[in-house]
Amino acid sequence: MKNLKGRKVLVTGGAQGIGFAVAECFAGEGADVFIGDIRVEKAVEAAKTLEEKYGTASKAYKLDVSSREGIRSCFERFKEEQHVLDILINNAGIQIRRPSLEFEEEKWDLLMNINLKGAFYCAQEAAGMMKDRGGAIVNISSGTSTETLPGRAPYCISKAGINGMTAVLAAEWAKYNIRVNAVAPGWILTQLLLDGMNMGIVSEKQILAAVPMKRLADVREIAGPVVYLASDEASYVTGQTLFVDGGQNALGLPDMGL
């Protein structure tokens, strides 16, 4: 049993995709789950779905992780209304596909502000609420933090930064009983990936050659490890990046049928 009943969880970028799957997994364990997202209407809809399906408290908060002021404003409102925060899931992020020789500074800044800077300041705000009572932070990294993809340099760099941030914050905040870990997903079966396959950007054959388990992940297979790392079952785990990728990180060379 993960013993999450009544815990207050904030999931950034929780209105859809991995974020919503994580939110739903927490709600299924009895936690009160709050959705922080810039897409307010979708966040409200997601929170309503959680309340109706699981009977736990849920609410949407407008959160623009690209803005320091937007982050501060969201956490101030959260603190006024919820008073405490037990778990933060740093999930919000974007990906921009573009050759490195052509990557504009404006796009670089946008991606880094959301994926890395925003994650840091969300963690900082959360830790400020947790330092007197402990808590857990789980950052969403990516398999591309170590297994890079050409044409996605800033994204890969931002996720490598998440791994480093996870380790240093874990070491720094352990004295407050705040645990900080990360989950690095591999290839997940999403509509975005299916669209990419249909457009010929990537093929399933290419992907599965790099995955020993020879299949794509379901988004719920990412949510489970996130909830585990945030739970008391992982009470002595901190500073770790857990690769949930079907063995891709362990393989090295792709399977060439040798």
| Residue 155 is a catalytic residue | yes
136 token code pair: 């857990």
DSSP 218: P
Q: Which of 140, 125, 118, 124 lies closest to 227 in space, CA to CA?
A: 140
Q: Which of 54, 121, 155, 228 is catalytic?
A: 155
Whether residue 187 contacts residue 196, with contact meaning beta carbons closer than 8 Å, is answered with no
Whether residue 174 contacts residue 137, with contact meaning beta carbons closer than 8 Å, is answered with no
Whether residue 32 contacts residue 9, with contact meaning beta carbons closer than 8 Å, is answered with yes
173: amino acid identity, one letter = W
Place of tokens 């880094």: 112
Distance CA 215, CA 27 (A): 27
Active site residues: 155
